[in-house]
Each structure stands twice: as structure tokens, then as C-alpha cells.
Structure 1
Amino acid sequence: MPVQRLFVGLEVPASIAEALVGLDPGLPGVRWVAAEQMHLTLAFLGQVAPEPAADLRTRLAAIHFSRFFLPLQGIGTFPAKGRPKVIRLGVGRGHPHLFQLHKRVTDAALAVGMEPDLRPWHPHLTLARCQGVTLQKMSPFLRAHADFDGGLVPIDAFQLKSSRLTPNGSIYTTELAVHAL
């Protein structure tokens, strides 16, 4: 088995993802994420060889968590100032169950010798990627959706996914799904 580009994430229910795609403002230079690709990344792991990937699967499968609900709130950009690279949907402030799950996933990766991205984690859903778009051109859309409320999303599983980069965007494959107790 070859090296895989891996991440651990939470999938968005199809009905919610479709509704989010419907927010696409149609701005030039803004490429909206397809509904089936929308997810919240718990940990990006990068290129992983087969043996550590197998060890990671075992550790992730042993993670126990209870179902919880995640609030989807507020549309903004990364970075918040300057030229935006990403349009993102926030997930409320400091959701304890989400941060506990993130820590367990990160600890599992560290235990098998992986170094996940250890920069400060800002949980979000990437809605679109931007290229050559100014914040000024996006301002009407951002103002109209700053207080967007997507409701509560049930979180009852997380997935280990492989990501294959193509000229038309990434293709994700679920390698493992771990369900809530």
C-alpha cells in the first residue's frame, strides 16, 4: 500500500451541505466546495506510510465519544483581514465536546509517531476557496451572512479520510469511520 495523504474529519449531513452550497454568491475567483466534500477537519496528518497508518486506524477505532450537537454559526474568511483565501462557516465558540474529540484524535496521532498540524486549531467548515478576490468585493456577501445560523448538526461519527489531489480538486475516500457510543 502506498503512502497516503490523510486527515481526520467530521462529515456534514447532505441536506445541510446542499443548503450551504446554495449560499454561493457566484463571485469570480471564488470556488465553492462541492456538498459531498464539505467537512470539518479534526486533524490534518499529511503524507503517511502504511505501517503508521495501520497503527493510527487501531488507535482511532479505540476512541470512545458520545453523540453531540455542533452549532454552525457565522460566515467569515481566513485570513480575517487582507485578501481572503477561504470563506468559512464557524462552529460556535469553544464547544467542549468538539475540542475533547480533537484532543483525542491528536493524541492518537502523536502516539503512533505522527505530527499533526500543531498550529492553533480554528474549527470551521471551508465553504469556498478564493483566488484574487478582494475583501471589498466580498463585503456585501459577508455582511449579509455574518450572523448566519445553520442550526445544530448532530455529530455521531468521525472519519479517517485519504485525500488525492487532482487538477479538479481533492478526492476524499473514507478509510475508517468511528461511531459514537
Structure 2
Amino acid sequence: MTTAYNKFYINGEWVEPAGRDTIDVINPATEEAFATISMGTAEDVDAAAMAARAAFTAWSQSSVEERVAVLKKIMAGIQARAGDLATAITSEMGAPVGLANAAQVPSGLGHFAAVLPVLENYKFQETRGSTLIVKEAAGVCGFITPWNWPLNQIACKVAPALAAGCT
């Protein structure tokens, strides 16, 4: 039995993809499809990038305290669904469930935990002599991640980007 995941989360809601193409996700342990996912198109990427751009101004101007609160909320969500995430990782890329529980999920959490003290102590503004240096978020970030440590690879890119004020 396969589960269909045929929507993308863009701009705060689940939306239909622009295209109709799908691909099966194969469990390497059984060599059987356990899910079908929609394939993204350039139009889907553009929609996501436009949503991220629309959110950028407000997010980049959010306070350190607001960013810390959001990062902690993400961490709480990962912790609450750790078992589900480990099961998905096991099915998707073949990691033994023990490894998924002991390393895969915690490594993703670790990246969020690591950015918190950096964010809380980072000097976004500093004066050097008569010069004021202001460090600002770069903008919208797009990430390509490998398959073999899915939560880790996403978290190691997303956590610092969000902490910096990027979308």
C-alpha cells in the first residue's frame, strides 16, 4: 500500500502542484513503493520563492527573541514527531530504525540547538571606531540536500538561515 503526498506547503498552506507528474518512493529494504510524491516544476519553485520573498521583509526584521522562539517551536515539533520522522527516514533511505532514532533525528535537532546560543549572542550591529557595521540577512535561500541524512542535511542549512533572518 502506498500513500500519496500530492501537495506542496507554500505560503502557509497545502497547494496543488503546477504539474501532474509523480514519482514512487521506494523502500530500499523491501524494494517496494511506499509512497508516491508529486514532482515539482519550475512554476512550483517560483511560487515558493515568491512566498519566501514576501515573508522576507518581516522575518528579516524580527527580533532575536522572536527568531529564538520560532527555532524552539521547530525543535519542539521535531521532538514531538521524532518517532514518525525516524520511521519515515527508515522507509525512505533504509537507515535501521535504531540509527534513525539514535542519530538521524537527533542530528537534525542538534543543528537547531547549535544555532540558538550563536543567535542569542551574535552582534548584528557593532561599532568599530567611527564605523557602524550592520549585518543583515541575505534574502531568500534555496537548498539542495542529499538523500542519505535527510533531516540532518535540511536542518544544517535551514537552522542557520532562519537564525540569520533569511527565508
TM-score, normalized by length of structure 1?
0.22
TM-score, normalized by length of structure 2?
0.24
> Which has the larger share of helix?
2
> Which has the larger share of strand?
1
